[in-house]
Each structure stands twice: as structure tokens, then as C-alpha cells.
């Protein structure tokens, strides 16, 4: 599959398919979006918000959540705020998210089926990694958005002036975006 993509890529570049996408690394709309890696959102989210290449910084992971105050999603927001001029942050969860109801026991079972040994699992726990917390999903999509918004808003390295953080849920089918209430 990847080789097919690379074949396509050669003619894309040859035919200057990149020309409509030329832009800079600075987000024209001064917005960063944290959202889910869900396949349904790849084009839908941009289309539903009228966004094009160059408009926003896009940070994606499973669930569109900020799980750790000093993890990679938060680090990306630091870069977006301090180096790339971002002033507004949207945390966008979505309906029917795969990270919702993610079951740690099931994933553990899948790992064992794929040859991950108990020794390795024990070793990781021994290094003070709480696998259950790390690999668990969330029950309620809106609450997950609220937690992420809260974490960013009250992060000690996020300036209290000049940064707006708001939470939303996008409908994975229609693209309708609704604001999550009581975010703080």
C-alpha cells in the first residue's frame, strides 16, 4: 500500500500538484486545533470549518485529548503558541470516537496475541508507567474535551493573557460542530 502512495507521489511532484498548497509554516488564522486521528475527520474537519492548507496548526492523536501536561500534544501547543503565533486553541472531540470506551483489558489481550510477553509488560510497570491509565479511553466525549480544555487553560506555561481555549464536538458524519458547554 505504501509503495502505491510513493508511485502516486512521483507524478504528483512532477506535475507540480503541490502548487495549490503553497503556504508558510505560520497559521494564517492563528488557530491551533487538537483533534482525533479518526479517518472520517481527515478531510471532513477542514471542509466543515472552511479551512485550507496554511490556515491552522493541526495536532492529532487517538481521541483528540491532552492526556499529559508535559506530553507531546501539549508540547506541540507550546510551539504553536510561542513560535508560530497561535492565539486561539480549539479542542475538537467527535461523535462515535474509537477512543471512547477503549478497553485496557482488551488491548492487553491483543498485545499478548501479537507476541508481547508478560516480562515486557511487567518491566514497563516496573518503570512506573501505569499502562491502564495510559491506554484507557474515556466514557464521555464532552467530559474528555472539558478535561483537555481545563488542562490547557490552567497550564503553568500557557500565558493567561492573549490565548483563548474552547472545546467542541464535531459530528463524524455531518461535520456539524457544537461547542461544549461549561468548559473552564
Which residues contribute to the site for Zn ion (CB under 5 A)? 36, 38, 97
Complex with Zn ion: residue 54 or 98, whichever CB lies closer: 98
Taking the complex as a whole, the smallest distance from the CB of residue 37 to Zn ion amounts, in Å, to 7
The answer to whether the annotation marks 94 as part of a ligand binding site is yes
Taking the complex as a whole, the smallest distance from the CB of residue 35 to Zn ion amounts, in Å, to 8
Residue that is written with C-alpha cell 481545563 in the block: 150
The answer to whether the annotation marks 97 as part of a ligand binding site is yes
Complex with Zn ion: residue 57 or 94, whichever CB lies closer: 94
Taking the complex as a whole, the smallest distance from the CB of residue 161 to Zn ion amounts, in Å, to 32
Complex with Zn ion: residue 94 or 155, whichever CB lies closer: 94
Contacts 24+ apart (CB under 8 A), 54-57: 54/21, 54/23, 54/24, 54/27, 54/28, 55/27, 55/28, 55/29, 55/31, 56/27, 56/29, 56/31, 56/32, 57/27, 57/31, 57/32, 57/33, 57/84, 57/86
Binding residues for Zn(2+): 36, 38, 94, 97
Amino acid at each position: 500500500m505504501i509503495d502505491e502512495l510513493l508511485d502516486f507521489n512521483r507524478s504528483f511532484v512532477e506535475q507540480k500538484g503541490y502548487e495549490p498548497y503553497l503556504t508558510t509554516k505560520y497559521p494564517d488564522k492563528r488557530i491551533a486545533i487538537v483533534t482525533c486521528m479518526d479517518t472520517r475527520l481527515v478531510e471532513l474537519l477542514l471542509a466543515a470549518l472552511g479551512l485550507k492548507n496554511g490556515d491552522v496548526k493541526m495536532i492529532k492523536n487517538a481521541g483528540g485529548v491532552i492526556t499529559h501536561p508535559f506530553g507531546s500534544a501539549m508540547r506541540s501547543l507550546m510551539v504553536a503558541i510561542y513560535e508560530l503565533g497561535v492565539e486561539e486553541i480549539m479542542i475538537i472531540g467527535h461523535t462515535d470516537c474509537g477512543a471512547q470506551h477503549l478497553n485496557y483489558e482488551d488491548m492487553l489481550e491483543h498485545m499478548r496475541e501479537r507476541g508481547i510477553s508478560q516480562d515486557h509488560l511487567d518491566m514497563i510497570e516496573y518503570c512506573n508507567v501505569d499502562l491502564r491509565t495510559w491506554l484507557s479511553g474515556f466514557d464521555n466525549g464532552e467530559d474528555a474535551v472539558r478535561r483537555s480544555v481545563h488542562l490547557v487553560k490552567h497550564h503553568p506555561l500557557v500565558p493567561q493573557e492573549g490565548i483563548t481555549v474552547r472545546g467542541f464536538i464535531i459530528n463524524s458524519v455531518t461535520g456539524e460542530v457544537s461547542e461544549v458547554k461549561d468548559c473552564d
